[in-house]
Structure 1
Amino acid sequence: MGAHSHGPNPSPVDLESVTTSHYTLLGSYLGSDEKAKDAILYSYTRHINGLTAILDDAEAAEIAKHPDVVSVFLNNGKKLHTTRSWDFLRLERNGVIPSKSIWNKARYGEDIIIGNLDTGIWPESMSFSDEGIGHVPLKWQGICQHCVKDKVHCNRKLIGARYFNKGYAAYLKTKNSTLSPIHNSTLFTTRDYVGHGTYTLSIAGGNFVRGANVFGNGNGTAKGGSPKAHVAAYKVCWPPVGNEECYDADILAAFEASISDGVDVLSLSIGNDKPMEFFKEAISIGAFHAVKNGIVAVTSAGNSGPDPGTVWDSSPWTLTVGASTIDREFTTYVALGNKKHLKGGSLSSKALPSNKFYPLTGGANAKAAKVSALDALYCKPGALDPKKVKGKILVCLWKEMTSIEMGEQAALAGAVGMILANDIESGNRVNADLHVLPVSHITYNDGKLVLDYLNSSKNPMAYMTGVKTEVGVRPAPLMASFSSRGPNTIEPAILKPDITAPGVDIIAAYSKAAPPTYLTSDTRRVSFIAQSGTSTSCPHVSGIAGLLKTLHPDWSPAAIKSAIMTTARARDNNMEPMLNSSMKRETPFAYGAGHIRPNRAMDPGLVYDLTIDDYLDFLCAHGYNQTLVRKFSDKPHKCSKSFTMANFNYPSIAVPNLSKSVIVTRKLKNVGTPGTYKAYVKAPIGVSIYVKPKSLKFDRIGEEKRFKIVVKPKAVGKSKDYVFGHLKWSDGKHFVRSPIVVKHK
């Protein structure tokens, strides 16, 4: 068993004594310091003060009782949560960068260092060229870690690369697993053999690369949010046979290293499958210490939507990002023999001959012997009869499964193309995947038309067009159905996710060691790829955080987070409330404060700031006792009896149990021009809200003002469900908006 413990913060001047204390603590349970040394995988001594060790259940349980131990938890694995977007975010307009763009104002993020915890790096990618990049900042203390056979060379752009694998190796031992030769060769290198780390880091801080495209589609200049920033890769994710996981022990070690190395922003497109208590998992612990050291920590919300309560990151010190669309689609069109034309999505590298009709067959009609019609309809492995498929366009039903694998099955059976139709549960979500044969992915309603035609025609025929890039799509953004939703099940008084950003069909750099589809049979290699996921939206925000850090080096991580949240917009490009891919109205549980607007974030006017003492008060109010909270503080911290979650100075407002009048207090700091701000409230249904005072006058930068929000249930229209509204402060130029979420008890 791999277990972690963490306790009081170490003195930076005596790291050796901290390591010795770890040996002594563990040795008192295992019998000797020597046994403790053999059991320890990592000793975290600089910032986190903890250790990872191989223990059995009984030993871990005993150590958890020690008064100096905050928590003990398993070495769990995290999942990977996987360029028109900057134009859509108005940093550029049709390739031209306006003078008022945050890119110009923030010098494209130069001198900022963005760290990425992921699958490593493909250093030869042009996104990590150091052309036009300045000298490495003097504060940088990191390294470029080499292996004997597979060197990763750093430069002025890619200034650091490290790998951490002891937690992964310990996991393999518990499973008595052995690595294949290819996996073994990836264990001691920072090189990215998966593609995910290269992709996400290039979105956050990739350099300008002209002519980027995916099989000729989406052609343009690729770049990251902070294109002139320096970047560092921390490889913590490893391949247990095609299902990469990132283990807590390695994640904590990477946090320790990155904090000491001198990064300004940490991007984490990885996370849990489910929400976990703050100090029972590595990312929350590591991010706490990162923020404590002035580092902005950005995480992905997860890809378990649209079910409620699926957002995994509940920590108030992180910036958690959901995924939404941009105004670009990669489309194909299907023409049926009955003259109906249907629009689908795809990024297939192949196309059928123009205007040539082919026989059309459904998976159920092409089933192999002794296979159910349903399995064949879903085109599962081994379910199709090649004699019934060869030379035809095959219709398969899609139900939240890997469409790439379905395309592979269609190709293996001899299909010339595939129409992938959503089932009723999948609705209108359409993927533009990089299929190995011509494919058009269509909605449920269009899929019914295809199936009706199949069942009513004696000689069904169809043809499919090649892929076309379409821009200016409306409405956009739409919330992606896969993006994990709130409410926050660990602490309902904190709204999560915090923000949404582009996360669907985004083009970015990729590893030349990995096929674009993750299929072992796929021999194609690409320099750029289009992917979807909160893994994709997270680094967009990391890049923007880098720009804000350049513009405002004195701002705290909380101030940067507030600027991003309070300037966001909850409307689409039709100026209507944001919808999801099924064209149903969404809520802040999907998009948080709204869709990011970087140019507005650089001048928010006011911010909701937070200090480490505020976070410690939050932990007290959440239920941690004063002894445990003290272990996370450099100085004594006394839990305030009067502090409640309603007093926590978060940029969003959540009241999860409203039964009587509740007073919410907040404090705003002026970071813009002096002026008077007035409050405007849109109260949730069945709730009355009063703001006291209704106006705030600021005379200087840095001045802070408190206000109260009185939240009362109404006798009429009272709902047991969550209801939503917002509070907006404005001086006529700035609009400081906070979502309000209320649930009646």
Structure 2
Amino acid sequence: MATRARIAAYKVCWKGGCFDADIMAGIDKAIEDGVNVISMSLGGSTSDYYRNTIAVGTFAAMERGIIVSCSAGNDGPDSSTVSNVAPWITTVGAGTLDRDFPAYVTLGNGKNFSGVSLYSGNALPDSLLPLIYARDASIVPNESRCLPGTLLPSKVSGKIVLCEGGSSAVRKGNVVKQVGGAGMILANLATDGEQLLAQAHLLPATAVSKNAGDMIKEYISSDSNPTATIVFQGTKVGIQPSPVVAQFSSRGPNSKTPEILKPDMIAPGVNILAGWSGAVGPTGLDVDTRRVEFNIISGTSMSCPHVSGIAALLKAAKPDWSPGAIRSALMTTAYTTYSTGAKIEDIATGKAATPFDYGAGHVDPSSALDPGLIYDLAVEDYNDFLCALNYSKEQISLITKGNFTCDTSKSYSVTNLNYPSFAVQLSSGSVVKHTRTLTNVGSPATYKVSVSSETESVKISVQPESLTFSAQNEKQVYTVTFTATSAMTSGTNSFGRLEWSDGEHIVGSPIAFSWK
């Protein structure tokens, strides 16, 4: 993303995992070396911040003006799965690109089904081949996942095998190959959702959705001589809609601090062209003797470095901006709709995604260069946040290294953290206030506020309704009051949006309501 950036790499993970001591040592060394951005595609725990290695280590980085970008995690689409939720971390979920790698299944009855694959070896014969469902060729009753040792060579040899279960796709294909199968169609299970991930298969193979898999199974059971072939189409661009939120991308709400909306944003994380070690083949399997310099990889481990690179570009263009200012610019300029006006979709549901899925939206690098206004955050703000959590002096010192003590005469509130988004915890009749400070980083202008909400159960008022900035770096304070006007079932969520605009810039913030 930042083509002229210099990269320092710190090894903190090993075959046995990523250990706390190594992570902390890596962060400390990066700080010592004077980096501007730390990109961490590592999963974080949801323990208290003073017990969380990544949270503690990255606090020290933030104190020194270093931007920290972390993966949201790959545990979606379940709710409350997002990790790395400390507010001084930029937490990144994953979306798709408009690029795909189509590989179509053609059946003997003339029907076609779209799939994806990175297979680049010899194509299948022009003629259709016999097709068999793995369950009909398995040694184990009702086993259709093509696990090692389950397929009978006498029933699979020379045929295309329909396997089920989207995980370990390449391993399943290798099982089929080892027993003489000519190819594999891998159908998602219901738990896999509709997400199709391109894989560098060792034999002609493609991945299809659960619905497609069900129709292929129906064809196999209804035809006395089922046949099929797989046609590989290489790379295709212009796929729409794009982006959509990835099935695997971890979702909010934030299980540690519900008043802080996480993830912060999404970025490209599905089927990403990525640098690859020559030590192993593109599948990572021991039997894969191929060697490549680039591979196609999916995960929030891919979306995180996209944002890290964009943050580096912003830091180069705006060297005086704090990590909080840079994250604010990325969040308030992120987009949540397509050019058609339709909302970004969630591939897990096929419906419109929400701020619990994409945070502030999909990152927009060009717009982030000129956000108009920013929600800045300094070390003191995060210190106040820790006090608002009612951490003890000893617990806070584990994070701040003993450099801060809460003022017992001061009232602290999590809702006053100057975050560019709003996560509002409500109960029947409750009134919640959030105070925010905007800093002008553009020309003198007057900004007016607009608020939208998908629920009538919350009244939203903003004071003042307009802010006039006469100089750069001038700050203005406003307060948002959320009033629950009717009772809602505990666990109910709804969403809204707050925007400040001067007619040229739109400074957008997502709002998430959750009833306790």
TM-score scaled to structure 1, two decimals? 0.67
- In the TM superposition, 1:95-494 aligns within 5 A as 225-240=1-16, 245-272=17-44, 274-353=45-124, 355-368=126-139, 371-374=140-143, 377-398=144-165, 400-494=166-260
Aligned length: 511
Match of 1:731 among 473, 490, 502: 502
Deviation at residue 422 of structure 1 after TM alignment: 1.4
Match of 1:657 among 416, 421, 426: 426
Deviation at residue 716 of structure 1 after TM alignment: 7.4
Matched, 1:683 2:450: no
SS in 1 for 2:235: strand
- The residue type equivalent to 2:54 in the other structure is I
- Say if 1:290 and 1:297, in contact at 8 Å, map to a contact too: yes
- Say if 2:46 and 2:52, in contact at 8 Å, map to a contact too: no
- Say if 2:39 and 2:69, in contact at 8 Å, map to a contact too: yes
Give the corresponding residue for 1:721. Answer: 492
Comparing 346-355 and 546-555, the one that deviates more: 346-355
- The residue type equivalent to 2:281 in the other structure is P
Deviation at residue 635 of structure 1 after TM alignment: 5.5
Match of 2:471 among 689, 700, 709: 700
- Say if 2:383 and 2:404, in contact at 8 Å, map to a contact too: no
Give the corresponding residue for 2:298. Answer: 532
SS in 1 for 2:192: coil
Deviation at residue 275 of structure 1 after TM alignment: 1.7
Residues 455 and 403 (structure 1), Cα distance of their counterparts in 2 relative to 1, 3 Å cut: same
- Say if 2:280 and 2:288, in contact at 8 Å, map to a contact too: no
Deviation at residue 630 of structure 1 after TM alignment: 5.2
Give the corresponding residue for 2:269. Answer: 503
SS in 2 for 1:563: helix
Give the corresponding residue for 1:710. Answer: 481
| Per-residue Cα deviation, 1:278-334 (whole angstroms, up to 9, x for no partner) | 121211111100000000000000111111111111200000000010101111111
- In the TM superposition, 1:578-727 aligns within 5 A as 578-582=344-348, 583-629=350-396, 632=400, 634=403, 637-638=406-407, 641-659=410-428, 660-685=430-455, 686-715=457-486, 720-727=491-498
Q: Counterparts of 1:612 and 1:638 in 2: how far apart (Å)? A: 15
Deviation at residue 573 of structure 1 after TM alignment: 4.8
Deviation at residue 426 of structure 1 after TM alignment: 2.2
Q: Counterparts of 1:727 and 1:489 in 2: how far apart (Å)? A: 23
Deviation at residue 650 of structure 1 after TM alignment: 0.5
Residues 568 and 309 (structure 1), Cα distance of their counterparts in 2 relative to 1, 3 Å cut: same
Residues 553 and 332 (structure 1), Cα distance of their counterparts in 2 relative to 1, 3 Å cut: same
Deviation at residue 634 of structure 1 after TM alignment: 3.5
Deviation at residue 684 of structure 1 after TM alignment: 4.1
SS in 1 for 2:325: helix
Deviation at residue 636 of structure 1 after TM alignment: 5.2
- Say if 2:194 and 2:247, in contact at 8 Å, map to a contact too: no
Structure 1 runs of 4+ aligned residues shifted over 6 Å read 716-719
Residues 336 and 639 (structure 1), Cα distance of their counterparts in 2 relative to 1, 3 Å cut: farther
Deviation at residue 520 of structure 1 after TM alignment: 1.0
Q: Counterparts of 1:717 and 1:612 in 2: how far apart (Å)? A: 37
Residues 449 and 438 (structure 1), Cα distance of their counterparts in 2 relative to 1, 3 Å cut: same
| Per-residue Cα deviation, 1:183-202 (whole angstroms, up to 9, x for no partner) | xxxxxxxxxxxxxxxxxxxx
Comparing 656-665 and 304-313, the one that deviates more: 656-665
Match of 2:289 among 511, 518, 523: 523
Q: Counterparts of 1:595 and 1:665 in 2: how far apart (Å)? A: 25
How large is the RMSD of aligned CA atoms in angstroms? 1.6
Residues 302 and 635 (structure 1), Cα distance of their counterparts in 2 relative to 1, 3 Å cut: closer
Greater RCO, CA 8 A, separation 6+ = 2
SS in 2 for 1:317: coil
- Say if 1:494 and 1:654, in contact at 8 Å, map to a contact too: yes
Residues 444 and 672 (structure 1), Cα distance of their counterparts in 2 relative to 1, 3 Å cut: same
Q: Counterparts of 2:162 and 2:62 in 1: how far apart (Å)? A: 50
Deviation at residue 629 of structure 1 after TM alignment: 2.9
Deviation at residue 496 of structure 1 after TM alignment: 0.8
Match of 1:514 among 266, 280, 305: 280
Q: Counterparts of 1:296 and 1:386 in 2: how far apart (Å)? A: 55
Q: Counterparts of 1:284 and 1:295 in 2: how far apart (Å)? A: 14
SS in 2 for 1:596: coil
Q: Counterparts of 2:90 and 2:325 in 1: how far apart (Å)? A: 11
Q: Which runs of 5+ in 2 are unaligned?
A: none
- Say if 2:124 and 2:204, in contact at 8 Å, map to a contact too: no
- The residue type equivalent to 2:392 in the other structure is N
Q: Counterparts of 1:669 and 1:394 in 2: how far apart (Å)? A: 60
- The residue type equivalent to 2:414 in the other structure is M
Matched, 1:547 2:316: no
- The residue type equivalent to 1:629 in the other structure is I
Q: Which runs of 5+ in 1 are unaligned?
A: 1-224
Q: Counterparts of 1:282 and 1:635 in 2: how far apart (Å)? A: 19
SS in 1 for 2:327: helix
Q: Counterparts of 1:358 and 1:630 in 2: how far apart (Å)? A: 67
Deviation at residue 740 of structure 1 after TM alignment: 0.5
- Say if 1:475 and 1:574, in contact at 8 Å, map to a contact too: no
